[in-house]
């Protein structure tokens, strides 16, 4: 893995949506850092502004206050070092392009030769197991496969960090398990840092090296839980570990308290 | 690397093409043939000279249109029609894209555009005759002045209605402006654009005829009006028949183009229906 320096630093991030009927404070005061090569999950009660946070990080929304920094440089717009996988795969893939065309599109403005571009696309499709579907259109594929295309598109872009917004919320449980393992594998093999937003507590513990638990809106980081599970994870054995159960129970409790609105000082992990 | 078993959903296979075409022809032509036979029977029994029988009209059709008239009247008319439609598409799509992508411009122009669209284009013919004279340019301008609106307004709607997630995806991957136009904006708006073109085609055909009926000395519209004024009834009917044929031909060509351009769109609808 490359250097373990700080990759992403979020400091006192604040986002207020202004509207004629009154301002809505989506993010209160949110700070955290993420090291290069980490896989960090963010969970929080529904409606806590996870998507807002993510759009601020990706440079798609301008925060009201605070800073987001990549390698010490403020993020003011979409960065070539980040790739986003959206929750709504059906609305984020271009139906008039083939699978290959979709993966290739973000590479067109990069200064690459045709051959280099082709290699990147083929390699990314291979990595998500969709080499055979390159010439299909996204709408000819199942939901899980469509989300794989979106992941391949992000991987081919060669970002330093992959930002994923509840990417598996709309797929069935078996597909979701496969996709979770795919994310862990991409992280382990390619050394891509991953910031994974989810509402699923088990998923966050299974995937993450760290889990950031958010409070309800206006959002803050309620707790930063280190997931001390073995690096080699497996859907059956890892999820059966007593430590897994402890962690998920702990995160679950925190979220329940967050929902009830106890914005108390962070408590130490058990 | 694990190979993930994948299922590719393909739209259901079509039935044998030949079989389908034959059945389609029967359906499409059955009723017209029946009506023709009825018309022939009625025409032989009536004394009205305004309704000649089909055979007389067919004779008139061959005598009138196959020969120099085709080069002198039909081709120039079709050329003006083609030019008018092409100009309408280019203008409508270009202006519609700019207006659709610029919210303040859209709000500024929308009431005006609705007004202009509501003006019946034929009333512009006298104005254009003064401004441009009785020229080919005038006729093409008249066609464009009517045909451009459905394309323009549909393009604006299509561009405005682009899914925000698609736009954000393009933004997050720093897709350039031109790429966004070519790979996102135009394809996303293409179903609406094609709907606009379909309307524009029928408007353009009407205006082609009308623009030639006013002070003109050649063209399909002129010929039909000329036959009517000179009591050449069978010839007049043959001209109307030819116009109908042109309309059908336009629809067929449009259908072929649309099937190609909107293959993805129809594919999605087919998958969603299944």
Q: Looking at residue A4, what is its pLDDT?
A: 58
Nearest to B183 among A58, A97, A133 (CB): A97
Subunit contact A84:B172, Cβ cutoff 8 A: yes
| A136, HSE (Cβ side, Cα atoms, 13 Å) | 20
Q: Is the pLDDT of residue B134 over 50?
A: yes
Tell me which residue range forms the domain holding B73: 52-273
What DSSP string describes A240-263?
A: HSHHHHHHHHHHHHHHHHHHHT--
Count the alpha carbons within 13 Å of B119 in the hemisphere toward its beta carbon: 15
Within 8 A of B13 by CB-CB distance, chain A residues are: none
Q: Does residue B118 share a domain with residue B225?
A: yes
B55: which 2 tokens? 């055979």
pLDDT at A1: 40
Given a cut of 80, is residue B20 above it in pLDDT?
Answer: no
Query: Which chain B residues are Cβ-neighbours of A195 within 8 angstroms?
Result: none
Q: Of the candidates B171, B175, B271, which has its C-beta nearest A140's C-beta? A: B271
Confidence of residue B2 (pLDDT cuts 50, 70, 90): very low
Nearest 5°: phi and psi at A33? -130, 160
Given an 8 Å threshold on Cβ–Cβ distance, is A60 in contact with B171? yes
Q: Is residue B9 part of a domain?
A: no
CA-based nearest distance B80→chain A, Å:
33
Mean pLDDT score, A109-126: 93
Residue B42 pLDDT > 90, yes or no?
Answer: no
B1 in a structural domain: no
**ipTM of this complex:** 0.87
| Average of per-residue pLDDT across B149-159 | 95
Residue A171 has pLDDT above 90, yes or no: no
A30: closest CA of chain B, how far (Å): 22
**pLDDT band per the 50, 70, 90 thresholds, residue B3:** very low
The pTM for the full model equals 0.84
H or E element at residue A95? none
For residue range A245-258, list pLDDT tens digits in order.
999 999 998 888 88
Residue B3 is assigned to a structural domain of this protein = no
Cβ contacts (< 8 Å) between B176 and chain A: which residues? Answer: 108-109
Q: What is the reported pLDDT for B1?
A: 40
> For B194-246, how does the pLDDT look when each residue is reduced to its tens digit (9 = 90+)?
999 999 999 999 999 988 887 677 888 888 888 888 888 888 888 888 999 99
| Residue B143, in any domain of the structure | yes
* Mean pLDDT, range A19-37, rounded to an integer: 88
Domains of chain B: total = 2
Tell whether B156 is covered by a domain.
Answer: yes
- DSSP notation for B58-71: HHHHHHHHSSHHII
Q: Which residue has the higher pLDDT, A259 or B209?
A: B209
Q: Which of B3, B12, B162, B169 to substitute to test the interface with A, most A CBs within 10 Å?
A: B169
Separation in Å, CA of B192 to nearest CA in chain A:
14
Domain membership of residue B2 (yes or no) is no
The enclosing H or E element of A70 equals strand A65-70
CA-to-CA separations, A71 to A139, A192, B39, B103, B144, in angstroms, rounded:
38, 15, 83, 36, 56
Looking at beta carbons, which residues of chain B come within 8 Å of A108?
Answer: 175-176, 179
The CATH number linked to B158 is 1.10.3720.10
**Looking at the partner chain, which of A91, A109, A157 has a beta carbon nearest the beta carbon of B176?**
A109
Structural tokens at position A145: 């496969």
**Is B23 inside any structural domain?**
yes
Band (pLDDT 50/70/90 cuts) for residue A51 is: confident
Q: Which two tokens stand for residue A99?
A: 């699978």
Contact at CB, A139 and B271, closer than 8 angstroms:
yes
- pLDDT score at A83: 93
Same domain, B209 and B252: yes
Q: What's residue B17's pLDDT?
A: 66
The more confident residue out of B218 and A77 is A77
The answer to whether B172 contacts A96, with C-beta atoms less than 8 Å apart, is no
Model confidence at A72, pLDDT cuts 50, 70, 90, reads confident
Q: How confident is the model at residue B10 (pLDDT cuts 50, 70, 90)?
A: low
Residues B248-259: what's their mean pLDDT? Answer: 94
B172 has a chain A CB within 8 A of its CB: yes
Which position has the higher pLDDT, B247 or B25?
Answer: B247
């Amino acid at each position: 893995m490359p250097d373990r320096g700080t990759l992403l630093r979020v400091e006192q991030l604040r986002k207020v949506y202004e509207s004629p009927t009154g301002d809505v404070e989506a993010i209160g005061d949110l700070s955290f850092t993420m090291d290069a090569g980490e896989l960090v999950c963010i969970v929080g009660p529904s409606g806590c502004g996870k998507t807002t946070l993510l759009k601020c990080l990706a440079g798609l929304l301008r925060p009201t206050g605070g800073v987001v920094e990549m390698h010490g440089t403020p993020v003011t717009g979409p960065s070539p070092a980040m790739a986003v996988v959206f929750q709504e795969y059906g609305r984020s893939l271009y139906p008039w392009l083939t699978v290959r065309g979709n993966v290739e599109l973000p590479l067109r403005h990069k200064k690459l030769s045709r051959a280099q571009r082709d290699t990147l696309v083929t390699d990314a499709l291979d990595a998500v197991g969709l080499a055979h579907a390159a010439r299909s259109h996204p709408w000819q594929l199942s939901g899980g496969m469509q989300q794989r295309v979106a992941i391949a598109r992000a991987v081919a872009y060669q970002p330093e960090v992959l930002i994923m917004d509840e990417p598996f919320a709309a797929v069935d449980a078996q597909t979701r398990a496969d996709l979770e393992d795919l994310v862990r594998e991409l992280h382990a093999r390619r050394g891509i840092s991953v910031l994974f937003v989810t509402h699923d507590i088990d998923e966050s513990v299974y995937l993450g090296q760290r889990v950031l638990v958010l409070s309800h809106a206006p959002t803050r980081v309620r707790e930063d839980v280190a997931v001390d599970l073995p690096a080699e994870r497996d859907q059956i054995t890892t999820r059966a570990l007593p430590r897994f159960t402890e962690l998920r129970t702990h995160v679950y409790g925190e979220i329940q308290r967050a929902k009830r609105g106890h914005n108390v000082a962070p408590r130490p992990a058990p | 690397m694990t190979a993930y078993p994948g299922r590719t959903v393909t739209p259901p296979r079509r039935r044998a093409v030949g079989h389908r075409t034959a059945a389609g022809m029967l359906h499409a032509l059955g009723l017209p043939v029946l009506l023709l036979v009825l018309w022939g029977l009625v025409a032989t029994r009536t004394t009205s000279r305004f309704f000649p029988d089909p055979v007389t009209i067919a004779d008139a059709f061959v005598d009138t249109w196959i020969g120099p008239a085709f080069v002198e009247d039909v081709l120039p008319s079709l050329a003006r029609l083609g030019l008018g439609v092409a100009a309408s598409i280019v203008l409508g799509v270009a202006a519609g894209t700019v207006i659709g992508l610029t919210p303040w411009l859209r709000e500024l122009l929308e009431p005006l555009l609705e007004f202009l669209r509501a003006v019946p284009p034929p009333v512009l013919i006298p104005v254009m005759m003064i401004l441009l004279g009785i020229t080919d340019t005038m006729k093409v301008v008249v066609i464009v002045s009517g045909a451009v609106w459905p394309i323009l307004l549909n393009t604006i709607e299509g561009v405005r209605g682009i899914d925000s997630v698609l736009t954000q995806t393009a933004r997050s991957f720093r897709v350039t402006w031109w790429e966004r136009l070519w790979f996102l904006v135009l394809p996303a708006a293409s179903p609406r654009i094609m709907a606009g073109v379909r309307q524009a085609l029928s408007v353009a055909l009407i205006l082609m005829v009308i623009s030639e009926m006013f002070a003109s000395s050649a063209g399909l519209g002129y010929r039909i009006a000329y036959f009517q004024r000179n009591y050449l009834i069978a010839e007049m009917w043959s001209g109307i028949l030819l116009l109908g044929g042109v309309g059908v031909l336009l629809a067929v060509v449009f259908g072929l183009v649309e099937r190609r351009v909107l293959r993805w769109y129809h594919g999605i609808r087919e998958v969603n229906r299944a």
